Amino acid sequence: MTETELKDRYAGRKALITGGAGFIGRRLRKKLEALGAEVYSLDSAEGEGPRALKCDVRDAAALAAAVREISPEFVFHLAGRVDRTADAALLRPMLEVNFLGALNLFEALKKVPVCRAVLLLGTGEEYGRFAEPPFREDYREDPVGPYSFSKFCATRLAGLFHRLYGLPAIVLRPTLAYGPGQEAGMFIPSVIETLRRGEKFAMTAGEQVRDFIFIDDLVSVYLAAGAAGTGFGGIFNIGSGETCSIRDLAMKIGRLMGREKLLEIGARPYRPAEIMDYRVDFSKAVKAFGWKPETGLERGLQLTIAAGEKADGK
């Protein structure tokens, strides 16, 4: 979908981003504003700007009031708790945020007749460790931990609300997003920041195969899906189509920064229930939304590293 077509869809329209202060939300907000949308951001902490609202998605009454006041035409539900640790103690807090938060939002949106599209952030981890890659949307899900289980529950809830109430919900299941401004807890920014400090980076043997999607490509498919007017009630995989082992990825970063010798490959064990081959078939999204990824891994890493250096004043 062209820039002109996106402006035709979003200019002057109200858009709500839950989790708007997060990595994806910040980038999405800037793009929507550039397209002329009236963007509202909702987060559990205080945000910046006149349309940034403090509201926890677990608070059903407060969320319903905010949604009723805004009456958005487009909703991008990115708010959620992320922790890929396989710890059963995380199950309840994950479900409270990722599942019950979605339920509260969907209940509120039932009373917003102008809503044209509700885009949810799923995860490729919903398919589990035994699915044959590349993962397809018709696979039976087998979540590997509390995080992916809570996302799976929200995915099925979106389908139910579409069938029962006509909620125009679409679930996007991306691979692993990365790019400038990402939180240091994720793999790519962790490697970059550790090497930039001149410290050793301890990691697994790195045999895991992954597909990393650049943040601008992920934002572009959210915009395309929201504007398409199709795919409601569906699940769509999102990826870059370029795969790389974690070891080779770390070596790429080390080479670009001239600090390969700081990588301690094999110093850590794999996580329990590690998905060793994490790739998706995203041809369904390409066909439905007229979208395709444009940023290769090498270029995306260059942009990410350069943005960090600029932020440090180098």
Handedness of CA 65, 69, 73, 74 (dihedral sign): negative
- Average pLDDT over every residue of 182-186: 90
Answer whether residue 218 shows pLDDT above 60: yes
Closest by CA position to 102, among listed 87, 122, 125, 126: 122
Q: Which domains does the chain have, with CATH numbers?
A: 3-178+213-241+279-294 (3.40.50.720)
- Average pLDDT over every residue of 258-284: 95
DSSP-assigned states of every residue in 241-252: S-EEEHHHHHHH
Distances (CA, A) of 238 to 28, 242, 284: 16, 12, 9
Query: Given this model, what pLDDT does residue 273 score?
Result: 84
Dump pLDDT digits (tens) for 58-112. 999 999 999 999 999 999 999 999 998 889 999 999 999 999 999 999 999 999 9
Q: Quote the CA–CA distance of 281 and 26 in Å, as a whole number.
A: 27
Closest by CA position to 171, among listed 27, 285, 15: 285
Residues in a beta bridge with 51: none
Rounded to the nearest integer, the mean pLDDT of the chain is 96
